[in-house]
Structure 1
Amino acid sequence: MAALIALLLLGLPACAAQDDDWSRYRTRYIDGGRVLDTGNRDVSHSEGQGWGMLLAEANGDRQTFDRLWNWTRQHLLRPDIALFSWRYDPSSSPPVQDTNNATDGDLLIAWALLRAAQRWDSDDYRAASAKIRQAIAARLVREYAGLAVLLPGLDGFEQNDQLILNPSYLVMPAIRAFAEVEPQAAWRRLLDDGQTLLERARFGHYRLPPDWLALRADGTLQPAAAWPARFGFDAVRVPLYLAWDGSPPGSASLRPFADFWACCEQPHAWVDLRSGELSPYPASTGVRAIAVLIGEGSALIAFPEKAENEDYYSMSLLLLARLAQRERTP
């Protein structure tokens, strides 16, 4: 953990750093209205569009917000329902080859629009958010094994005797925000049952959630068989969203993540929840930022001077961790 502490920028005012780093992020990872996944041949995802919109709103950057939103609805919005195709590849023809959605992207976009409606008093943003929320609630929330759960997408996740879930798609602060504006809808139940699911879906020595999870009809949980049984690339977002939603450092919900990242001299990128095998390489800067967010201190990792060496995912996690710290602090 000593190497992690050495990366911290102590005493940095969170708001000032956010503004400056947002400008650098925008220059490096946003092309017009499209967020570039620089670690994946510059494709774009609904997730990245939602994150970009959140960061633009948080920084009061309406021009960039509108560019991102306009591009997203022009290129990813499905014609049949207010959900978004999950991937755009400019090297393919057509660029959208798979129209299935990714529910975390839909949640993030709806949340960004709701926040933007509140910041800029826009009925258009408010109506767009409501329409997406309605589609999510109607098509992607399921009652299964006594729990309200969130399907990761419209197609491919409902099997005969189980559902396949992604714990990191439970964007808890977004769901809480939806419950506040629509108290009569299913959001409060989804929030409460999502918390229950995240408490139960813990495996391995460190008691961590997997990237992909199988929920059987009898209520039993196990890492989904079609993916490596890892706490890794996806599930690192679980503690980010829990902390953003108000779970304090040292809480029972966050302690297992903190213990895992503190286990070694440098935080690991993943751990196999069955064998205990650790990644042969360290966690990215963005994951390290989440480790700091859920720790006991108040410092945050600095945006790297050479951001070109960091991919979009890592830097998005970094800025989101900074935003989460700022918004959860009274």
Structure 2
Amino acid sequence: MKTIPSRVIAVLTLVAGLCGIVTASADERRVDRAWEAYVDRFITDEGRVIDTGNGNISHSEGQGWGMMLAQHYGDQQTFHKLWQWTRQQLGRQDVSLFSWRYDPSKTPPVRDNNNASDGDLFIAWALYLAAEQWDNRNYANASSSIRRAIVDELVTDMAGYTVLLPGIEGFKHSDTADLNLSYWFVPAMQDFAEMAPEEPWQALIDDGVSLLDETTFGRYRLPTDWVTLTADGVVSPAEEWEPRFSFDAVRIPLYFAWGGRDEGASIGSITAFWNDPAYQPASAWINVTTDERAEYPISRGVRAINAFANNQALPDPVPKEEDDYYSATLLLLTHMADDMR
């Protein structure tokens, strides 16, 4: 057998290395285009994330998602702008949480001081990750303050479950609690549980999985966006909202699979619904009581969640013209989850 001259090996190694560099660079450019396109379409110069599918409002959810993505893509400048705008425009004066909605067409633009606990979680986790990435103690302190406020103001016990209230006001009643399981952002809860094991984060995760076993309604055994938990442990679709598996609940498979806790019964029901061969493309929502369906399909962002939950290849992360803020955000979040997984 002939020996390959060392100079040939060196050349081949160099070529292989260059090919690897080119491949990595091409992938990096693709990722950069996705984030750059997102920033260009949905984030203003002052750091406000615009919900293009909802009257161009902003909310704590979108600000938190934007901060998470900016950190993931290493964009410290955009992260700083997002955080400054969020703190100045949505930060509450009485507690380290954030008003949930900002409407630039109203005066004042923040007319409801109530918070949304998922937005608070996103912001706290984004600050935690940013503090680690950029060695920023101010981010770490802010994250810690928000985390403690969530525990103090939003975590409670009901019927033997540790639950996350969707907001400070309006969701806990004398013998019931209205819950939204898409607010259980498991990756953040996991990091907080590791950081502060004396706090109830692990109980929240475990009881969230248990509640998912109870929230299986209708023909397809799907969770509704909003459920009511009674003091004696009965879970049912919440009466004040339409009994739909819809735009909130579609996030459940992403959050629980991202955290490696996708064993809840209704998660398998969700992906089975999306992949039902009798109804393709899958409907954007369904009423679990009447089986009424949306006349339009799930978005590309929701299709990405379906792919992620089934360990399939994800669609290209670059937002298309058809993608509004919500679809584009879910698309990029799914790629972030896939990168972290």
Partner of 1:155: 169
Corresponding position of 2:272: 259
> Does the alignment pair 1:177 with 2:191?
yes
Pairing partner for 1:45 from 59, 68, 93: 59
Residues 231-281 of structure 1 deviation map (CA, whole Å, 9 limit, x = unaligned)? 101100111101111247x98563212110001221211111112222211
Between the aligned partners of 2:245 and 2:231, the Cα distance in structure 1 is 23
Q: Percent identity?
A: 51
Structure-1 separation of matches of 2:58 and 2:95 = 20
In the alignment, what sits opposite 2:255?
241
Give yes or no for contact 2:225–2:245 (8 Å, CA) kept in 1.
yes
Once residues 197 and 178 of structure 1 are traced to their aligned partners in structure 2, the CA distance between those partners, rounded to angstroms, is 20
Unaligned runs of 5+ in 2: 1-25
Q: TM-score, normalised by structure 2?
A: 0.88
Judge conservation of contact 1:199–1:253 (CA < 8 Å) in 2.
Answer: yes
Q: Deviations over 1:190-232 (max 9, x none)?
A: 1111111122212122222110010011100000011111110
Partners of 2:27 and 2:232 in 1: CA distance: 46
CA distance in 2, matches of 1:305, 1:236: 19
Cα distance change of structure 1 residues 261 and 15 upon mapping to structure 2, 3 Å threshold: farther
Q: Check conservation: 1:247, 1:253, Cα contact below 8 A.
A: no
Residue 313 of structure 1: aligned partner: 326
* Letter of the structure 1 residue corresponding to residue 145 of structure 2: K
Structure 2: distance between partners of 1:171 and 1:14: 28
* Alignment partner of 1:19 is 2:32: yes
- Report the counterpart of residue 153 of structure 2 in structure 1: 139
Range with bigger deviation, 109-118 or 155-164: 155-164
TM-score (structure 1 length as normaliser): 0.91
- Once the two structures are superposed, residues 2-23 of structure 1 have per-residue CA deviations (whole angstroms, 9 ceiling, x without a partner) of xxxxxxxxxxx87654332011
The CA distance in 2 between the partners of 1:304 and 1:117, in whole Å, is 27
Asked if structure 1 preserves the Cα contact closer than 8 Å seen for 2:212 and 2:265, the reply is no
Looking at structure 2, the residues matched to 305 and 169 of structure 1 have their Cα atoms a distance apart, in angstroms, of 24
1:86·1:101 contact (CA, 8 Å) conserved in 2?
A: yes
1:38-76 CA-to-partner distances (Å, cap 9, x unmatched) read 111211000000000000000000000000000000000
CA gap 1:305/1:57 in 2 versus in 1, 3 angstroms: closer
Report the equivalent of 1:216. Answer: 230
CA contact under 8 A between 2:124 and 2:146: conserved in structure 1? yes
CA contact (8 A) 1:247 1:254 kept: no
Cα shift at 1:305: 6.3
1: CA distance, partners of 2:98 / 2:226: 21
Report what 2:7 is aligned to: none
State the 1:177 CA deviation. Answer: 1.1
Deviates more, 1:129-138 or 1:181-190: 181-190
Deviation of the 1:156 alpha carbon: 0.6
User: Per the alignment, do residues 196 and 258 of structure 1 end up closer, same or farther by CA in structure 2, a change over 3 Å counting?
Assistant: same
Letter in 2 for 1:220: V
SS in 2 for 1:238: helix
1:85 aligned to which of 81, 94, 99: 99
Instruction: Evaluate the alpha carbon distance shift between residue 44 and residue 144 of structure 1 in structure 2; reply closer, same or farther with a 3 A threshold.
Output: same
Structure with the higher helix share, 1 or 2: 2
The higher-RCO structure (CA 8 Å, 6+ apart) is: 1
Distance 2:126 2:300 in 1: 24
How far residue 161 of structure 1 moved from its aligned partner, in angstroms, is: 2.4
What secondary structure is seen at the aligned counterpart in 2 of 1:142?
strand
| Structure 2 SS opposite 1:34 | coil
The one-letter code of the counterpart of 1:323 is M
Aligned to 2:73: 59
Change (3 A) 1:102 1:321: same
Gaps of at least 5 residues in structure 1 are 1-12
- For residue 143 of structure 2, the aligned residue among 84, 109, 129 is 129
How many angstroms apart in 2 are the aligned matches of 1:149 and 1:247? 16
